[in-house]
Amino acid sequence: MDIFRSHILICRGTGCTSSGSDQVADAFDKYIKEEGLEQEVKVVRTGCFGLCEVGPIVIVYPEGAFYSRVEEKDVQEIVKEHLVKGRVVKRLLYQESLDKDRIKSLNEVEFYKKQMRVALRNCGVIDPENIDEYIAMDGYKALTKVLTEMTREQVIEEVKKSGLRGRGGAGFPTGTKWEFVYNAPGDKKYVCCNADEGDPGAFMDRSVLEGDPHSVLEAMAIAGYAVGADQGYIYVRAEYPIAVRRLQIAIEQARNYGLLGENILGTGFNFDIDLKIGAGAFVCGEETALLNSMEGKRGTPRPRPPFPANKGLWGKPTLLNNVETYANICQIINKGGDWFASIGTERSKGTKIFALGGKINNTGLVEIPMGTTVREVIYDIGGGCPNGKAFKAVQTGGPSGGCIPAELIDTPIEYDTLVKIGSMMGSGGMIVMDEDNCMVDIAKFFLQFTCDESCGKCTPCREGTKRMLELLEKITEGKGEEGDIEKLQTLAMNIKDSALCALGQTAPNPILSTIRYFRDEYEAHIKDKRCPAGVCAALLNYIILEDKCKACGICAKNCPTNSISGKPKTPYVINQDTCIKCGVCMDKCPFGAIIKK
């Protein structure tokens, strides 16, 4: 076994790769070779570290030096100074990782301090394309234990004991679902993984597949043993090319090691996994639409019952869980259901991954124990809103979720609590909004997405969401009328009660939650013809402040419609009749003399 004095871990998740981490990794290979350090220093291309805001990320062990925003041109300096001379390059360190002259460990950095990585335990730690590194981290130990020491019933009981609920959005008890499939009659059963992550701003499942694909393969094999299936499928969207490639590599490696295929570990158990590539339809995140798509049919939902546990893929009993759900299984088997159940709250066990985005300083991937408050995520982990702006709301659960206002910031994050306040856990998107966001406009944004992605099969979703969108467009254009809010609420409740699938039933959530907590903004748009946040262009006026205007003429020169006029030593004015509300004048004014109101 090779022994290295230093390990360089480089993030090669989608975020860092798009910022040039591949070139950074290649540069490390080049300069390490030039210095003759190939036998002393190992470069490890890992998955996501989580703190996407400061990527590309490079961490050098054993010191634990956390380098952020590393560019190809910085690599030679790190190699010569850090690896050759033993001097950390302080200018490239993530500043919060340095305490005077001491380098903090990752769990001391504010972003990571309150996190608990269970599903993400190997992401950013191992090379996802090397099965040996996964095995070194207890990989396939759980599968071995299951096949040699446990009955199928014992496996299901351990999962039930853990209290794990589905992480794909519905929160259905995982062990109970496994038991349903186990009990379903049939000589052929399937185990499927939903990796069709379509929520705007969500990248939880993608990061797990990119950083730790074997954890999903092993869990699916365990599930196959438990429910009596010999074939698994992973339905992953084509927009995830890195995840797809790493899954292909991992499946081939597992087959070569005898961990997938026939007679696994000499136990007589047969189980194999294949990929199904989806075209990126949001509705295929719904389980029956996903199964239709896998069968080569149009990806539209079908009525339930029968449920997939009894009649799923090709009419056979089918177990379907999402990526994050499977990513917890091996830890549950290795450490026990009681261990997992000890994390979180009474009705929401374990941890949950969130993709933290929007108006937040620390954009990235976080995994927290259930019961952590919204405040802790926004401020302690996320670092608050940029530029000192006030936190206004956070959208959880993607386009099907609701907006949690600032006054509920101390709400614990758990399934039932979020539903109670009009939101939902969803798959784990978390979009932060600050004082500059218009909540009516936010509701319109998410509803526009839902309308575009509706499969059109049922009338409530196809027509109802479109009518709601028309009302929101009318309101944001300054044409709202008394009674429009009530119309929105009535439509929303009818759609919730009658849409065919959960995607349609939850589509009204952003509207209902914003009306519930930000009704005053709707009323300002309708009654006063005013957008309090200054976002809705039709309700805006750009005004030049006379006492601040220096009559420089810069605004007039940059106005695309020649709507600004003035004379030397006289404050300029904007013609509101021809102004197109583009905001160029305000952006270009060097004196802050132009405001919108």
Cβ-based neighbour number of residue 483 at 10 Å = 9
Same domain (yes/no): 238, 208: yes
Block mean pLDDT (10 aa), the chain, length 597: 88 95 97 96 96 96 96 97 96 91 91 96 97 97 98 98 91 96 96 91 93 98 98 96 97 98 97 94 90 94 93 97 97 98 96 96 96 97 96 91 95 94 88 96 94 90 94 95 96 94 90 96 94 89 91 94 91 92 92 89
Which of 410, 434, 458 delimits the end of a domain? 434
Are 508 and 467 contacting, i.e. CB atoms less than 8 angstroms apart?
no
Same domain (yes/no): 143, 233: yes
User: Could you tell me if residue 125 is inside a domain?
Assistant: no
Q: What CATH number did the domain enclosing 81 receive?
A: 3.40.30.10
Same domain (yes/no): 325, 367: no
pLDDT for the residue 1:
53
User: Could you tell me if residue 533 is inside a domain?
Assistant: no
User: Could you tell me if residue 219 is inside a domain?
Assistant: yes
Sign of CA dihedral 46, 51, 57, 61: negative
Same domain (yes/no): 453, 517: yes
User: Could you tell me if residue 418 is inside a domain?
Assistant: yes
Q: In what helix (H) or strand (E) does residue 27 lie, and over which residues does it extend?
A: helix 21-34
What's the CA gap between 28 and 577, in Å, rounded?
59
pLDDT for the residue 573:
94
Q: How far is CA 133 from the centre of its chain?
A: 26
Structural domain that includes position 374: 351-434
Same domain (yes/no): 94, 166: no
Same domain (yes/no): 470, 523: yes
- Report helix, strand or coil for 225: helix
Question: Which structure tokens are listed for 423?
Answer: 């939101």
Same domain (yes/no): 189, 326: yes
Which of 390, 415, 434 delimits the end of a domain? 434
Q: How far is CA 24 from the centre of its chain?
A: 25
Region of 482 (left: φ > 0; alpha: ψ -120 to 50; beta: rest) is beta
Same domain (yes/no): 75, 224: no
Which of 300, 318, 341 delimits the end of a domain? 341
What's the CA gap between 316 and 311, in Å, rounded?
5
User: Could you tell me if residue 516 is inside a domain?
Assistant: yes
Same domain (yes/no): 574, 558: yes
User: Could you tell me if residue 417 is inside a domain?
Assistant: yes
Q: What CATH number did the domain enclosing 368 receive?
A: 3.10.20.600
pLDDT for the residue 263:
97
Q: What CATH number did the domain enclosing 547 receive?
A: 3.30.70.20
Are 32 and 78 contacting, i.e. CB atoms less than 8 angstroms apart?
no
Same domain (yes/no): 545, 510: no
Q: HSE (CB half, 13 Å, CA atoms) of 235? A: 32
Residues with Cβ within 8 Å of 266's Cβ and at least 6 positions away in sequence, in order, are none
Residues with Cβ within 8 Å of 244's Cβ and at least 6 positions away in sequence, in order, are 236, 238, 275, 277
Q: What CATH number did the domain enclosing 143 receive?
A: 3.40.50.11540
pLDDT for the residue 169:
77
Same domain (yes/no): 584, 504: no
Same domain (yes/no): 423, 460: no
pLDDT for the residue 399:
85
Are 327 and 216 contacting, i.e. CB atoms less than 8 angstroms apart?
yes
Q: HSE (CB half, 13 Å, CA atoms) of 373? A: 10
What's the CA gap between 410 and 521, in Å, rounded?
23
User: Could you tell me if residue 534 is inside a domain?
Assistant: no
pLDDT for the residue 569:
84
Ordered DSSP codes for 492-525: HHHHHHH-SSHHHHHTTHHHHHHHHHHHHHHHHH
The tally of domains found in the chain comes to: 5
Residues with Cβ within 8 Å of 291's Cβ and at least 6 positions away in sequence, in order, are 192, 308, 312, 313, 318, 320
User: Could you tell me if residue 32 is inside a domain?
Assistant: yes
